[in-house]
Structure 1
Amino acid sequence: MNSHRGISQQAAEAIRTLILEGGYAEGALLPSQRDLAERLGVSRTSLREALSGLASRGEVRVQAGKGVFVGKGQDARGAVPAAAVDWAFGAQASPGEIFQMRYGLEGYAAGLAVARTTPAVLDALAANVEALRVELRAGDFEAANRLDFDFHRRLIELSGNRVLLDLLGRSAEPFIESQKLPFVRRERVMETHAEHVRILRALERQSASAATRTMQEHIRRAAARIGVQFATPA
Protein backbone atom coordinates (compact mmCIF):
# COMPACT_ATOMS: atom_id res chain seq x y z
CA MET A 1 0.00 0.00 0.00
CA ASN A 2 1.41 3.38 -0.99
CA SER A 3 -1.36 5.67 0.27
CA HIS A 4 -1.03 7.53 3.54
CA ARG A 5 -4.03 5.62 4.87
CA GLY A 6 -2.48 2.33 3.79
CA ILE A 7 0.73 3.12 5.66
CA SER A 8 -1.17 3.88 8.87
CA GLN A 9 -3.10 0.60 8.53
CA GLN A 10 0.16 -1.31 8.09
CA ALA A 11 1.55 0.47 11.15
CA ALA A 12 -1.53 -0.52 13.17
CA GLU A 13 -1.08 -4.18 12.22
CA ALA A 14 2.63 -3.97 13.08
CA ILE A 15 1.74 -2.58 16.51
CA ARG A 16 -0.68 -5.49 17.06
CA THR A 17 2.10 -7.92 16.18
CA LEU A 18 4.49 -6.11 18.52
CA ILE A 19 1.99 -6.42 21.38
CA LEU A 20 1.42 -10.13 20.79
CA GLU A 21 4.94 -11.28 19.98
CA GLY A 22 6.55 -8.94 22.49
CA GLY A 23 4.53 -10.38 25.35
CA TYR A 24 2.90 -7.08 26.33
CA ALA A 25 0.03 -7.69 28.76
CA GLU A 26 -3.00 -5.47 29.22
CA GLY A 27 -1.91 -2.19 30.83
CA ALA A 28 1.74 -2.58 29.75
CA LEU A 29 3.59 0.51 28.53
CA LEU A 30 4.70 0.32 24.89
CA PRO A 31 7.87 2.00 23.54
CA SER A 32 7.64 5.75 23.09
CA GLN A 33 5.96 7.10 19.97
CA ARG A 34 9.33 8.25 18.68
CA ASP A 35 10.76 4.76 19.13
CA LEU A 36 7.68 3.16 17.58
CA ALA A 37 7.88 5.41 14.53
CA GLU A 38 11.57 4.60 14.06
CA ARG A 39 11.04 0.88 14.61
CA LEU A 40 8.14 0.71 12.14
CA GLY A 41 9.74 3.05 9.62
CA VAL A 42 6.77 5.43 9.46
CA SER A 43 6.23 9.12 10.04
CA ARG A 44 4.91 10.41 13.34
CA THR A 45 1.73 11.46 11.50
CA SER A 46 1.10 7.92 10.21
CA LEU A 47 1.88 6.51 13.64
CA ARG A 48 -0.60 8.86 15.32
CA GLU A 49 -3.29 7.77 12.86
CA ALA A 50 -2.51 4.12 13.54
CA LEU A 51 -2.68 4.66 17.29
CA SER A 52 -5.91 6.62 16.93
CA GLY A 53 -7.53 3.72 15.10
CA LEU A 54 -6.28 1.19 17.65
CA ALA A 55 -7.45 3.40 20.52
CA SER A 56 -10.94 3.68 19.00
CA ARG A 57 -11.25 -0.12 19.29
CA GLY A 58 -9.80 -0.23 22.79
CA GLU A 59 -6.63 -2.01 21.69
CA VAL A 60 -4.40 0.71 23.13
CA ARG A 61 -4.77 3.72 25.42
CA VAL A 62 -2.84 6.87 24.57
CA GLN A 63 -2.23 9.08 27.61
CA ALA A 64 -0.70 12.48 27.00
CA GLY A 65 2.59 12.86 28.81
CA LYS A 66 2.60 9.22 29.92
CA GLY A 67 2.71 7.09 26.80
CA VAL A 68 0.85 4.32 24.98
CA PHE A 69 -0.56 1.43 26.97
CA VAL A 70 -2.03 -1.91 25.89
CA GLY A 71 -5.82 -1.91 26.19
CA LYS A 72 -8.49 -4.59 26.47
CA GLY A 73 -9.72 -4.47 22.89
CA GLN A 74 -6.85 -6.64 21.64
CA ASP A 75 -8.84 -9.71 22.69
CA ALA A 76 -12.11 -8.93 20.99
CA ARG A 77 -11.14 -8.09 17.41
CA GLY A 78 -12.07 -10.46 14.65
CA ALA A 79 -13.56 -13.26 16.74
CA VAL A 80 -15.47 -16.02 14.97
CA PRO A 81 -18.98 -16.47 16.44
CA ALA A 82 -19.06 -19.58 18.60
CA ALA A 83 -22.13 -20.83 16.72
CA ALA A 84 -20.08 -20.90 13.51
CA VAL A 85 -17.44 -23.37 14.70
CA ASP A 86 -17.63 -27.10 14.11
CA TRP A 87 -17.93 -28.79 17.51
CA ALA A 88 -18.47 -32.56 17.75
CA PHE A 89 -18.75 -32.87 21.53
CA GLY A 90 -21.99 -31.03 22.24
CA ALA A 91 -23.41 -33.99 24.18
CA GLN A 92 -20.48 -33.80 26.61
CA ALA A 93 -19.85 -30.07 26.95
CA SER A 94 -19.98 -26.82 25.02
CA PRO A 95 -16.76 -25.13 23.84
CA GLY A 96 -17.31 -22.50 26.53
CA GLU A 97 -17.49 -25.14 29.26
CA ILE A 98 -14.26 -26.74 28.04
CA PHE A 99 -12.49 -23.38 28.00
CA GLN A 100 -13.77 -22.59 31.50
CA MET A 101 -12.44 -25.91 32.76
CA ARG A 102 -9.10 -25.29 31.09
CA TYR A 103 -8.89 -21.73 32.47
CA GLY A 104 -9.13 -22.97 36.05
CA LEU A 105 -7.22 -26.24 35.90
CA GLU A 106 -4.48 -25.31 33.47
CA GLY A 107 -3.81 -21.99 35.13
CA TYR A 108 -3.32 -23.80 38.43
CA ALA A 109 -1.19 -26.50 36.78
CA ALA A 110 1.08 -23.93 35.15
CA GLY A 111 1.74 -22.33 38.53
CA LEU A 112 2.60 -25.72 40.04
CA ALA A 113 4.84 -26.59 37.09
CA VAL A 114 7.30 -23.82 37.96
CA ALA A 115 8.69 -25.81 40.91
CA ARG A 116 9.46 -28.78 38.67
CA THR A 117 11.08 -27.07 35.70
CA THR A 118 14.75 -27.76 34.96
CA PRO A 119 17.05 -26.36 32.28
CA ALA A 120 16.41 -29.49 30.20
CA VAL A 121 12.64 -29.10 30.57
CA LEU A 122 12.82 -25.43 29.59
CA ASP A 123 14.94 -26.30 26.55
CA ALA A 124 12.35 -28.89 25.47
CA LEU A 125 9.51 -26.40 25.90
CA ALA A 126 11.46 -23.75 23.98
CA ALA A 127 12.01 -26.24 21.14
CA ASN A 128 8.27 -26.97 21.11
CA VAL A 129 7.44 -23.25 20.95
CA GLU A 130 9.86 -22.71 18.07
CA ALA A 131 8.51 -25.72 16.19
CA LEU A 132 5.00 -24.34 16.69
CA ARG A 133 6.08 -21.05 15.11
CA VAL A 134 7.51 -22.87 12.10
CA GLU A 135 4.40 -25.02 11.54
CA LEU A 136 2.02 -22.08 11.93
CA ARG A 137 4.03 -20.03 9.44
CA ALA A 138 3.95 -22.99 7.05
CA GLY A 139 0.20 -23.39 7.47
CA ASP A 140 0.44 -26.98 8.75
CA PHE A 141 -2.28 -26.68 11.36
CA GLU A 142 -2.50 -30.40 12.12
CA ALA A 143 1.16 -30.42 13.11
CA ALA A 144 0.68 -27.14 14.99
CA ASN A 145 -2.24 -28.60 16.92
CA ARG A 146 -0.16 -31.59 17.99
CA LEU A 147 2.58 -29.28 19.22
CA ASP A 148 0.00 -27.09 20.97
CA PHE A 149 -1.48 -30.09 22.78
CA ASP A 150 1.99 -31.39 23.71
CA PHE A 151 2.94 -28.01 25.24
CA HIS A 152 -0.15 -27.98 27.44
CA ARG A 153 0.17 -31.68 28.31
CA ARG A 154 3.77 -31.22 29.44
CA LEU A 155 2.81 -28.43 31.82
CA ILE A 156 0.01 -30.53 33.33
CA GLU A 157 2.49 -33.38 33.77
CA LEU A 158 4.96 -30.99 35.41
CA SER A 159 2.31 -29.96 37.91
CA GLY A 160 2.81 -33.35 39.56
CA ASN A 161 -0.93 -33.61 40.14
CA ARG A 162 -2.12 -37.04 39.02
CA VAL A 163 -5.78 -36.04 39.22
CA LEU A 164 -5.24 -33.24 36.70
CA LEU A 165 -3.40 -35.60 34.40
CA ASP A 166 -6.21 -38.16 34.71
CA LEU A 167 -8.77 -35.48 33.84
CA LEU A 168 -6.74 -34.61 30.77
CA GLY A 169 -6.65 -38.27 29.75
CA ARG A 170 -10.41 -38.66 30.06
CA SER A 171 -11.12 -35.38 28.26
CA ALA A 172 -8.33 -35.58 25.69
CA GLU A 173 -10.52 -35.48 22.57
CA PRO A 174 -12.60 -32.38 23.42
CA PHE A 175 -9.45 -30.82 24.89
CA ILE A 176 -7.55 -31.26 21.62
CA GLU A 177 -10.54 -30.10 19.60
CA SER A 178 -10.86 -26.95 21.71
CA GLN A 179 -7.25 -26.13 20.83
CA LYS A 180 -8.02 -26.43 17.11
CA LEU A 181 -10.94 -24.00 17.20
CA PRO A 182 -8.97 -20.71 17.35
CA PHE A 183 -7.05 -21.74 14.23
CA VAL A 184 -10.16 -21.07 12.12
CA ARG A 185 -8.99 -17.46 12.00
CA ARG A 186 -5.93 -17.99 9.82
CA GLU A 187 -4.83 -14.36 10.10
CA ARG A 188 -4.62 -14.71 13.89
CA VAL A 189 -2.91 -18.07 14.31
CA MET A 190 0.41 -16.53 15.37
CA GLU A 191 -1.30 -15.25 18.52
CA THR A 192 -1.13 -18.80 19.90
CA HIS A 193 2.63 -18.81 19.43
CA ALA A 194 3.05 -15.39 21.03
CA GLU A 195 1.01 -16.48 24.05
CA HIS A 196 3.05 -19.67 24.45
CA VAL A 197 6.18 -17.51 24.42
CA ARG A 198 4.79 -15.48 27.31
CA ILE A 199 4.02 -18.64 29.30
CA LEU A 200 7.53 -19.93 28.65
CA ARG A 201 9.07 -16.64 29.81
CA ALA A 202 7.11 -16.87 33.07
CA LEU A 203 8.43 -20.40 33.62
CA GLU A 204 11.98 -19.24 32.90
CA ARG A 205 11.57 -16.47 35.50
CA GLN A 206 10.40 -19.12 37.98
CA SER A 207 7.30 -17.05 38.71
CA ALA A 208 4.35 -19.23 39.66
CA SER A 209 1.95 -16.29 39.72
CA ALA A 210 3.05 -15.14 36.25
CA ALA A 211 2.81 -18.69 34.88
CA THR A 212 -0.75 -18.99 36.19
CA ARG A 213 -1.72 -15.57 34.89
CA THR A 214 -0.22 -15.97 31.42
CA MET A 215 -1.76 -19.44 30.99
CA GLN A 216 -5.19 -18.18 31.99
CA GLU A 217 -4.83 -15.18 29.71
CA HIS A 218 -3.85 -17.49 26.85
CA ILE A 219 -6.95 -19.64 27.34
CA ARG A 220 -9.23 -16.61 27.71
CA ARG A 221 -7.84 -15.11 24.50
CA ALA A 222 -8.13 -18.41 22.62
CA ALA A 223 -11.78 -18.63 23.63
CA ALA A 224 -12.38 -15.02 22.60
CA ARG A 225 -10.99 -15.76 19.14
CA ILE A 226 -14.02 -17.99 18.49
CA GLY A 227 -16.46 -15.64 20.17
CA VAL A 228 -16.60 -17.43 23.54
CA GLN A 229 -16.63 -15.06 26.50
CA PHE A 230 -16.82 -16.16 30.12
CA ALA A 231 -16.60 -14.47 33.48
CA THR A 232 -13.29 -14.68 35.31
CA PRO A 233 -12.42 -13.82 38.93
CA ALA A 234 -11.71 -10.14 39.47
Structure 2
Amino acid sequence: MAVTDAAIDRIKEMILTGELAPGSRLPKEADLAERLGLSRNSLREAVRALALINVLDVRQGDGTYVTSLEPRLLLDAMAFVVDFHQDDTALQFFQIRRILEPEATAMAATRMTDAEITGLREILAGLPEDPSVEQLVVNDLEFHRRIAAGSGNPVLCSLIESLSGPTTRARIWRGLSRENAMGRTREQHTAICDAIAARQPDVARAWATVHVAGVEEWLRNALA
Protein backbone atom coordinates (compact mmCIF):
# COMPACT_ATOMS: atom_id res chain seq x y z
CA MET A 1 0.00 0.00 0.00
CA ALA A 2 1.31 3.47 -0.89
CA VAL A 3 2.35 5.64 2.04
CA THR A 4 -0.30 8.26 1.17
CA ASP A 5 -3.00 5.56 1.03
CA ALA A 6 -1.91 4.35 4.45
CA ALA A 7 -2.15 7.90 5.79
CA ILE A 8 -5.67 8.26 4.36
CA ASP A 9 -6.72 5.00 5.97
CA ARG A 10 -5.41 6.08 9.36
CA ILE A 11 -7.24 9.40 9.28
CA LYS A 12 -10.35 7.59 8.10
CA GLU A 13 -10.06 5.19 11.02
CA MET A 14 -9.83 8.10 13.46
CA ILE A 15 -13.08 9.48 12.01
CA LEU A 16 -14.90 6.14 11.97
CA THR A 17 -13.98 5.35 15.58
CA GLY A 18 -15.20 8.75 16.71
CA GLU A 19 -11.79 10.00 17.70
CA LEU A 20 -12.32 12.76 15.17
CA ALA A 21 -15.97 13.82 15.14
CA PRO A 22 -17.70 15.89 12.44
CA GLY A 23 -16.66 19.51 12.89
CA SER A 24 -13.62 18.70 15.02
CA ARG A 25 -10.19 20.12 14.35
CA LEU A 26 -7.28 17.85 13.50
CA PRO A 27 -4.20 18.01 15.74
CA LYS A 28 -1.30 20.10 14.53
CA GLU A 29 0.44 18.62 11.52
CA ALA A 30 3.70 17.81 13.32
CA ASP A 31 1.86 16.19 16.26
CA LEU A 32 -0.46 14.14 14.05
CA ALA A 33 2.36 12.98 11.76
CA GLU A 34 4.39 11.79 14.74
CA ARG A 35 1.38 10.11 16.30
CA LEU A 36 0.54 8.22 13.11
CA GLY A 37 4.14 7.40 12.30
CA LEU A 38 4.03 9.29 9.02
CA SER A 39 6.16 11.88 7.32
CA ARG A 40 4.66 15.33 7.18
CA ASN A 41 4.70 15.17 3.37
CA SER A 42 2.63 11.95 3.40
CA LEU A 43 0.21 13.50 5.85
CA ARG A 44 -0.18 16.60 3.68
CA GLU A 45 -0.94 14.47 0.62
CA ALA A 46 -3.55 12.52 2.58
CA VAL A 47 -5.17 15.71 3.84
CA ARG A 48 -5.30 17.13 0.29
CA ALA A 49 -6.93 13.95 -1.01
CA LEU A 50 -9.54 13.90 1.76
CA ALA A 51 -10.25 17.59 1.25
CA LEU A 52 -11.00 16.96 -2.43
CA ILE A 53 -13.80 14.57 -1.49
CA ASN A 54 -15.13 16.91 1.21
CA VAL A 55 -14.12 14.77 4.18
CA LEU A 56 -11.72 17.42 5.44
CA ASP A 57 -11.89 21.21 5.25
CA VAL A 58 -8.52 22.99 5.14
CA ARG A 59 -8.86 26.55 6.44
CA GLN A 60 -5.85 28.73 5.78
CA GLY A 61 -4.47 30.20 8.98
CA ASP A 62 -6.94 28.25 11.12
CA GLY A 63 -6.30 24.55 10.70
CA THR A 64 -7.89 21.45 9.19
CA TYR A 65 -11.34 20.29 10.25
CA VAL A 66 -13.52 17.28 9.66
CA THR A 67 -16.53 18.40 7.64
CA SER A 68 -20.13 17.73 8.63
CA LEU A 69 -19.91 14.47 6.63
CA GLU A 70 -23.47 15.00 5.45
CA PRO A 71 -24.46 12.82 2.46
CA ARG A 72 -25.06 15.85 0.24
CA LEU A 73 -21.56 17.12 0.87
CA LEU A 74 -19.83 13.78 0.39
CA LEU A 75 -21.77 12.92 -2.75
CA ASP A 76 -20.78 16.22 -4.34
CA ALA A 77 -17.53 14.49 -5.14
CA MET A 78 -19.39 11.77 -7.03
CA ALA A 79 -21.27 14.39 -9.02
CA PHE A 80 -17.93 15.91 -10.02
CA VAL A 81 -16.61 12.54 -11.17
CA VAL A 82 -19.66 11.49 -13.17
CA ASP A 83 -19.59 14.78 -15.07
CA PHE A 84 -16.68 13.24 -16.99
CA HIS A 85 -18.87 10.50 -18.47
CA GLN A 86 -18.64 9.67 -22.14
CA ASP A 87 -21.73 9.78 -24.34
CA ASP A 88 -21.97 6.02 -24.55
CA THR A 89 -22.17 5.72 -20.75
CA ALA A 90 -25.05 8.18 -20.42
CA LEU A 91 -27.44 5.27 -20.90
CA GLN A 92 -26.03 3.61 -17.79
CA PHE A 93 -26.80 6.71 -15.73
CA PHE A 94 -30.38 6.65 -17.00
CA GLN A 95 -30.67 3.01 -15.97
CA ILE A 96 -29.69 4.01 -12.44
CA ARG A 97 -32.19 6.86 -12.51
CA ARG A 98 -34.91 4.41 -13.57
CA ILE A 99 -34.19 2.41 -10.42
CA LEU A 100 -33.96 5.31 -7.97
CA GLU A 101 -36.38 8.01 -9.11
CA PRO A 102 -39.61 5.96 -9.19
CA GLU A 103 -39.01 4.89 -5.58
CA ALA A 104 -38.22 8.45 -4.53
CA THR A 105 -41.41 9.59 -6.24
CA ALA A 106 -43.48 6.95 -4.44
CA MET A 107 -41.98 8.05 -1.12
CA ALA A 108 -42.71 11.68 -1.95
CA ALA A 109 -46.38 10.78 -2.48
CA THR A 110 -46.62 9.84 1.19
CA ARG A 111 -44.19 12.33 2.71
CA MET A 112 -44.41 15.67 0.88
CA THR A 113 -46.34 18.33 2.74
CA ASP A 114 -49.24 20.16 1.14
CA ALA A 115 -47.05 23.27 0.94
CA GLU A 116 -44.32 21.33 -0.87
CA ILE A 117 -46.84 19.94 -3.34
CA THR A 118 -48.08 23.47 -3.97
CA GLY A 119 -44.49 24.46 -4.68
CA LEU A 120 -44.20 21.55 -7.10
CA ARG A 121 -47.27 22.77 -8.99
CA GLU A 122 -45.77 26.27 -9.11
CA ILE A 123 -42.68 24.82 -10.81
CA LEU A 124 -44.92 23.31 -13.49
CA ALA A 125 -46.94 26.50 -13.87
CA GLY A 126 -43.75 28.55 -14.18
CA LEU A 127 -42.79 26.87 -17.45
CA PRO A 128 -43.65 29.18 -20.39
CA GLU A 129 -46.18 27.99 -22.93
CA ASP A 130 -43.51 27.78 -25.62
CA PRO A 131 -40.31 27.29 -23.62
CA SER A 132 -36.82 27.16 -24.99
CA VAL A 133 -34.91 23.93 -24.53
CA GLU A 134 -32.81 25.64 -21.85
CA GLN A 135 -35.93 26.70 -19.91
CA LEU A 136 -37.32 23.19 -20.16
CA VAL A 137 -34.10 21.68 -18.81
CA VAL A 138 -33.91 24.09 -15.85
CA ASN A 139 -37.56 23.47 -15.03
CA ASP A 140 -37.12 19.71 -15.36
CA LEU A 141 -34.10 19.65 -13.07
CA GLU A 142 -35.89 21.68 -10.38
CA PHE A 143 -39.02 19.52 -10.63
CA HIS A 144 -37.08 16.33 -10.07
CA ARG A 145 -34.97 17.93 -7.33
CA ARG A 146 -38.11 18.91 -5.39
CA ILE A 147 -39.48 15.38 -5.64
CA ALA A 148 -36.18 13.82 -4.55
CA ALA A 149 -36.08 16.14 -1.54
CA GLY A 150 -39.71 15.29 -0.85
CA SER A 151 -38.78 11.62 -0.41
CA GLY A 152 -37.53 12.57 3.04
CA ASN A 153 -34.34 10.56 2.51
CA PRO A 154 -31.27 12.82 2.24
CA VAL A 155 -29.04 10.01 0.94
CA LEU A 156 -31.48 9.09 -1.83
CA CYS A 157 -31.94 12.76 -2.67
CA SER A 158 -28.19 13.30 -2.92
CA LEU A 159 -27.72 10.25 -5.12
CA ILE A 160 -30.40 11.41 -7.54
CA GLU A 161 -29.02 14.95 -7.65
CA SER A 162 -25.53 13.64 -8.35
CA LEU A 163 -26.89 11.87 -11.43
CA SER A 164 -28.62 14.96 -12.81
CA GLY A 165 -25.51 16.49 -14.34
CA PRO A 166 -24.72 13.61 -16.72
CA THR A 167 -28.30 13.49 -17.96
CA THR A 168 -28.62 17.19 -18.73
CA ARG A 169 -27.01 16.86 -22.13
CA ALA A 170 -29.31 13.98 -23.01
CA ARG A 171 -32.34 16.06 -22.05
CA ILE A 172 -31.16 18.77 -24.42
CA TRP A 173 -30.62 16.24 -27.22
CA ARG A 174 -34.11 14.96 -26.66
CA GLY A 175 -35.58 18.46 -26.75
CA LEU A 176 -33.79 19.24 -29.99
CA SER A 177 -34.32 15.93 -31.76
CA ARG A 178 -37.57 14.38 -30.63
CA GLU A 179 -40.84 15.75 -31.91
CA ASN A 180 -43.19 16.99 -29.18
CA ALA A 181 -40.64 16.25 -26.45
CA MET A 182 -41.70 19.36 -24.56
CA GLY A 183 -45.37 18.41 -24.68
CA ARG A 184 -44.65 14.88 -23.51
CA THR A 185 -42.49 16.11 -20.65
CA ARG A 186 -45.11 18.60 -19.51
CA GLU A 187 -47.87 15.96 -19.56
CA GLN A 188 -45.80 13.40 -17.67
CA HIS A 189 -44.71 15.92 -15.05
CA THR A 190 -48.34 16.89 -14.50
CA ALA A 191 -49.35 13.24 -14.10
CA ILE A 192 -46.55 12.67 -11.58
CA CYS A 193 -47.54 15.76 -9.62
CA ASP A 194 -51.22 14.77 -9.63
CA ALA A 195 -50.37 11.30 -8.30
CA ILE A 196 -48.25 12.78 -5.51
CA ALA A 197 -51.01 15.24 -4.62
CA ALA A 198 -53.55 12.40 -4.55
CA ARG A 199 -51.26 10.44 -2.19
CA GLN A 200 -51.07 7.53 -4.63
CA PRO A 201 -47.51 6.15 -4.35
CA ASP A 202 -48.04 3.26 -6.78
CA VAL A 203 -49.41 5.58 -9.47
CA ALA A 204 -46.64 8.09 -8.82
CA ARG A 205 -44.04 5.35 -9.13
CA ALA A 206 -45.56 4.13 -12.40
CA TRP A 207 -45.60 7.59 -13.99
CA ALA A 208 -42.03 8.27 -12.89
CA THR A 209 -40.97 4.98 -14.46
CA VAL A 210 -42.72 5.86 -17.72
CA HIS A 211 -41.10 9.29 -17.70
CA VAL A 212 -37.50 8.16 -17.14
CA ALA A 213 -37.84 5.04 -19.29
CA GLY A 214 -39.11 7.13 -22.21
CA VAL A 215 -35.99 9.28 -22.21
CA GLU A 216 -33.84 6.18 -21.73
CA GLU A 217 -35.43 4.48 -24.74
CA TRP A 218 -34.93 7.56 -26.90
CA LEU A 219 -31.27 7.73 -25.85
CA ARG A 220 -30.76 4.04 -26.58
CA ASN A 221 -32.10 4.52 -30.10
CA ALA A 222 -30.04 7.67 -30.62
CA LEU A 223 -26.82 5.95 -29.57
CA ALA A 224 -27.61 2.97 -31.79
Q: Distance in 2 between matches of 1:91 and 1:224?
A: 18
Q: 1:203 maps to what in 2? A: 196
Q: Which has the higher contact order (CA 8 A, sep 6+)?
A: 1
1:175 has 2:170 as partner: no
Q: Distance in 1 between matches of 2:190 and 2:202?
A: 16
Q: Distance in 2 between matches of 1:202 and 1:195?
A: 11
> CA shift at 1:195, angstroms?
0.5
Q: 2:125 maps to what in 1? A: 130
Q: Distance in 2 between matches of 1:204 and 1:172?
A: 24
> CA shift at 1:187, angstroms?
2.9
Which of 119, 133, 140 in structure 2 is aligned with 1:141? 133
1:118 has 2:113 as partner: yes
The percent identity for this pair of structures is 24
> CA shift at 1:227, angstroms?
4.1
Equivalent position amino acid for 1:158 in 2: G
Q: 1:154 maps to what in 2? A: 146
TM-score, normalised via structure 1 length: 0.53
* 1:127 to 1:104, Cα distance in 2 relative to 1, 3 A: same
Equivalent position amino acid for 1:95 in 2: A
**Alignment gaps of 5+ in structure 2:** 1-82
* 1:164 to 1:178, Cα distance in 2 relative to 1, 3 A: farther
Structure number with the higher helix fraction is 2
**Alignment gaps of 5+ in structure 1:** 1-87, 230-234
Q: Distance in 1 between matches of 2:170 and 2:117?
A: 25
Deviations 1:179-233 (A, max 9, x none): 333212353121000110110111111011111111011111122334449xxxx
Q: 1:107 maps to what in 2? A: 102
> CA shift at 1:90, angstroms?
3.8
Q: How does 1:15-164 map to 2 (within 5 A)?
A: 89-91=84-86, 94-132=89-127, 134=128, 137-164=129-156
| SS in structure 2 at match of 1:94 | helix
1:217 has 2:210 as partner: yes
Q: Distance in 1 between matches of 2:94 and 2:119?
A: 26
Verify the 8 A CA contact 1:168 1:175 in the aligned structure 2.
no
**Considering only aligned residues, what root-mean-square deviation do their CA atoms show, in Å?**
2.3
> Which structure is larger by alpha-carbon Rg, 1 or 2?
2
Q: 1:28 maps to what in 2? A: none
TM-score, normalised via structure 2 length: 0.56
* 1:163 to 1:175, Cα distance in 2 relative to 1, 3 A: farther
Q: Distance in 2 between matches of 1:156 and 1:224?
A: 22
